[in-house]
Structure 1
Amino acid sequence: MVLCEDRECGVCYQPYSRQDRIPRVLHCRHTFCATCLETMSLPKSDMLTVCCPLCRQTTCVGRGLSLQEALWVNSRLWDYIPESKEEEEEEKERSRKMLKFPAFLRKFSLTKPQHQESIVPGCANV
């Protein structure tokens, strides 16, 4: 399974924000945005349940609490979220300018090798 970058939700692939896409931690310690968690939550008797899309562990919230009240904010990610709209726009512009390669492409070098041997058929390469 390919995981998305740490700074975006693994369900909607949108960047976390301090308003509506707050990074919340499930009991299994996987993090998703509050908007997706609300969408995935199911009411069961006196509780709300959320099934983690990665490990399928169920997180239960009971006693009249909402997901926002019961689930912790991922503070590691929270520190990287821009505080204002201006900072958010600057971050988006920086990420557009950066070229992102998938992990399997990072191992290939884009520079020309210094010395390359060639094999010629019918010739003794010594």
Structure 2
Amino acid sequence: MVLCEDGECSVCLLPYSRMDRIPRVLHCRHTFCEPCLETISRLRSGHLAVSCPLCRRVTCIGQERSLQEALWVDLELWERIQEAAVVEEQEEVEEEEDGQKRRAAVQRMEAKQQPALQAE
């Protein structure tokens, strides 16, 4: 299995998110997104069992609990997801501001050129 960037699940290779790809920690301390953990989990002897795709250690979860209840969120990754979202939002604002500056510069150039064109 390929180890990928910290911000991506090493099973599906998609980035973690706070909505649908929440990073959850197995007992072996490896982290994967919820959908992948749900896909690889199996019911064994009345317990939900998740075999880690990296080290093969099995994490067992009692009948009365779900994956979301039993497995902790990887808080380090959770915080980075928030930071990444803020950075992306800031970049979008900066791109919009750059676009507005470019449009204003084009309008100024056109305004300077209009008197010359009218004189002709």
TM value normalised by structure 2 = 0.68
The Cα of 1:22 is off from its aligned counterpart by 0.4
Q: Does 1:73 align with 2:73?
A: yes
Give 1:9 deviation, angstroms.
0.2
| Aligned residue type for 1:3 | L
Larger radius of gyration: 2
Match of 1:5 in 2: 5
- The letter for the 2-side match of 1:48 is L
Question: Which structure is higher in helix share?
Answer: 2
Distance in 1 between residues matched to 2:77 and 2:48, nearest whole Å: 25
- Amino acid across the alignment from 1:12: C
Residues matched between the structures, number:
91
Q: 1:99 matched to which residue of 2?
A: none
Q: 1:11 to 1:31 in 2, by over 3 A?
A: same
Q: Would you say the 8 A contact 1:52–1:59 is kept in 2?
A: yes
Conserved 8 A contact 2:48-2:63: no
CA offset digits 1:48-89 (Å, max 9, x no partner) = 000001000000001310000000000000001138xxx379
Residue correspondence of structure 1 range 1-126 to structure 2 within 5 A = 2-82=2-82, 87=85, 90=88
- Name the % identity: 66
- Could you list the runs of 5+ residues in structure 2 that have no partner in the other structure? 93-120
Structure 1 unmatched runs, 5+: 95-126
Distance 1:76 1:34 in 2: 16
AA at the equivalent of 1:30: H
Flag as ranges the 4+ runs of structure 1 deviating above 4 A: none
Change (3 A) 1:21 1:45: same
